[in-house]
Structure 1
Amino acid sequence: MPARIGQLELPDQSPNFLILRHNIRPYLQEHIFVGLSGGADSLSLIAAARAEGAAVTAICIDHNLQEGSREISEKAAAQAELMGAKAIVHSVEVTPGQGMEAAAREARYAAFAHFSTEIWVAHTMDDQAETYLLAGLRGNSTGMLDASRRPNLTVIRPLLGARRANTQGACAELGLTPWQDPQNSDSAFRRVAMRTQVLPLLGEVHGGDPIPGLALAARRAAEAAEVLEGVVEKRRGEWKNGFPVTLAAEPRAVRHRMLADFLRGYDIKVNSRKLEAIDHLLVDWHGQGPVAVGKTATGRLEVVRQSGKLRIND
């Protein structure tokens, strides 16, 4: 074990930090780009990567959504540099309002893709469990994979086997000072309410820690979704010129993935309501009219059943 990383001296005993180092070893490369928020998860991830000998570039995104956000980003970057990492502070603009969290995430990942084709992020097992429950409330239980592909960017999550307590403990062991986002204590945010209210109650009902079981279910759901996406990708050519009604014979889960891919090919936003209505054109056909799926400058987009295929009309 190295005695120091950059200017940061490493302690002789650091059990939480050692857990993080074990977790990241299967993913190590010579040079790693890490998304840095300044919180305990991302700071300790950078520390672990540096202790394992990797060169690290930390990319700290200033979303400009909170007062003093630039200063927060620069302090995070300074701690990364203290550990011998290179640090970049990059500013993005996000319009406040409904869906702001998702908009900030998309802006952040687009910025990451500007600097690298691969980024490490510090999601933990606790994040995995929370994501699974929140997605389930939207009727789409899923989870995060160790590696997932976005447009122009591969996202690596090497800490899904570690706990939030490990990242916080590692920062304490190393003498790092993580940023405490005030939003993380605001139960008006659903993820915070899930973390502070729902999961503790589940623990009482379960009679133990609910996180590992939920995280395992999330991983299995994500892996199953990956298999389905692979099937869809291989068969995409079948609905290039309209969606054949013969695909009604496919299992529902496969069929819905195919229909979603068909719609996205026309840049149509997909939701469960649209999929159910379009699916009826396949499996419950009795001459019904088209299904509205969006708007254009000249009218509305519709899916219509015509000559043995579903087609997009405007």
Structure 2
Amino acid sequence: MRRAVREWLARYAPEGVVAVALSGGADSLALTAAACAEADVVDALTVDHGLQSGSAEVAAEAAAVASRLGCRSARVLTVTVERSEPGGLEAAARRARYAALDEARQRLPVLLGHTLDDQAETVLLGLARGSGARSIRGMAEFDEPWGRPLLGVRREVTRQLCADLGITPWEDPHNSAPEFTRVRLRGEVLPLLEEVLGGGVAAALARTAAQLREDGEVLDGLARGLLDDARERDALYIETLATVAPALRRRVIRAWLLERGAKSLTDSNLRAVEALVTQWRGQGGVAVGGSPSGTRLVAAREHGRLILRSE
């Protein structure tokens, strides 16, 4: 644990000043302890979602443990989770949590307790979505401001560290609730895969994610250069896009759409927009996002250019 944090700090935060997202669970408690041992300054941030009775007491206890471990400060952030938001309760809580952490971090990188096991689960979820390599390359070690030093550490190690330090982690009831897809992956799917394939599945999935991330970063870099070549004010030249490999072309289209305000792009969205370039038959535009007011963004082909208009 200490080595993982030390190596992350050397790569991404050599000044040694970080914040830690502390839920009170084993992963974040162990991360906080390791960070206090390796970093010069650690601020703990605990989010109280208010979704369970006693959540305020759990958050207060986590903050107290953080102070005992040596954190410079330990703050509890209370948030309101909108249950009616798209994606369900889990997604709404995640959005509220990250927004609160981002607001409170005071420009510091925030360490998150995601482990190798979490990475494996993320890869499986991405594989089920079927959105290509981007969806199965997992979580990054550092996606500013979010740092994940423990992506090479198994979950059992974090629990062992808590036991060694005499810390009792909080057990979130949501982590055993079968209505959550990730819980079933953790408790049913991954153990079955380990049994059928003879072990080592979680580590193999994490290695696959790392390899795909390295490859994806190279392709994304090439796509950024191509985007500059294809750009003509707010449009893209069709001729430039039509002559490159599909993997690069879709990356260029994706980057262009996102910077112009498109939301929640899917593989089918991207391929439909790509068809405006490679399979032009006079078809109409492709909706790539909208707003609550009813306005939607539509990608279309016009005079040899790919344009984006509001309707």
Q: TM-score range by the shorter chain?
A: 0.7 to 0.9
**Identity between Structure 1 and Structure 2 (%):** 43
**Cα offset, 1:294, TM superposition:** 3.6
2:178 aligned with 1:183:
no
Does the 8 Å contact 2:177/2:183 carry over to 1?
yes
Q: 1:51 aligns with which of 37, 60, 64?
A: 37
Partner of residue 274, structure 2: 279
Aligned partners of 2:210, 2:223: CA distance in 1, in Å? 20
2:277 aligned with 1:291:
no
Partner of residue 232, structure 1: 223
Aligned partners of 1:200, 1:103: CA distance in 2, in Å? 28
3-state SS of the aligned residue for 2:75? strand
Structure 2 gaps of 5+ residues are 10-14
Letter in 2 for 1:102: A
Aligned partners of 1:54, 1:299: CA distance in 2, in Å? 49
Does the 8 Å contact 1:145/1:223 carry over to 2?
no
Aligned residues: CA RMSD: 1.9
Does the 8 Å contact 1:65/1:96 carry over to 2?
no
Partner of residue 121, structure 1: 112
Partner of residue 242, structure 1: 235
Q: 1:89 aligns with which of 61, 73, 76?
A: 76
Q: What TM-score do you get using the length of structure 2 for normalisation?
A: 0.87
Q: 2:307 aligns with which of 295, 308, 311?
A: 311
2:5 aligned with 1:24:
yes
Q: 1:155 aligns with which of 146, 153, 156?
A: 146
Does the 8 Å contact 1:121/1:156 carry over to 2?
yes
Distance 1:108 1:168, change over 3 A: same
Task: Name whichever of 131-140 and 100-109 sits farther off.
Answer: 100-109
Aligned partners of 2:110, 2:119: CA distance in 1, in Å? 18
Letter in 2 for 1:184: N
Letter in 1 for 2:106: S
Distance 1:255 1:216, change over 3 A: same
3-state SS of the aligned residue for 2:19? strand
CA deviation vs aligned residue, 1:214-246 (integer Å, no higher than 9, x gap): 110011122223333333344443334212212
**Cα offset, 1:51, TM superposition:** 2.2
3-state SS of the aligned residue for 1:107? helix
3-state SS of the aligned residue for 2:35? helix
**Cα offset, 1:122, TM superposition:** 1.1
Letter in 1 for 2:236: F
Aligned partners of 2:273, 2:59: CA distance in 1, in Å? 46
2:96 aligned with 1:107:
yes
**Cα offset, 1:292, TM superposition:** 2.7
CA deviation vs aligned residue, 1:165-219 (integer Å, no higher than 9, x gap): 0000110111101110011111211111111111111111211131111110011
Structure 1 gaps of 5+ residues are 1-19
Distance 1:62 1:228, change over 3 A: farther
Aligned partners of 1:298, 1:80: CA distance in 2, in Å? 46
Task: Name whichever of 194-203 and 58-67 sits farther off.
Answer: 58-67
Partner of residue 23, structure 2: 37
Q: 1:194 aligns with which of 185, 188, 193?
A: 185
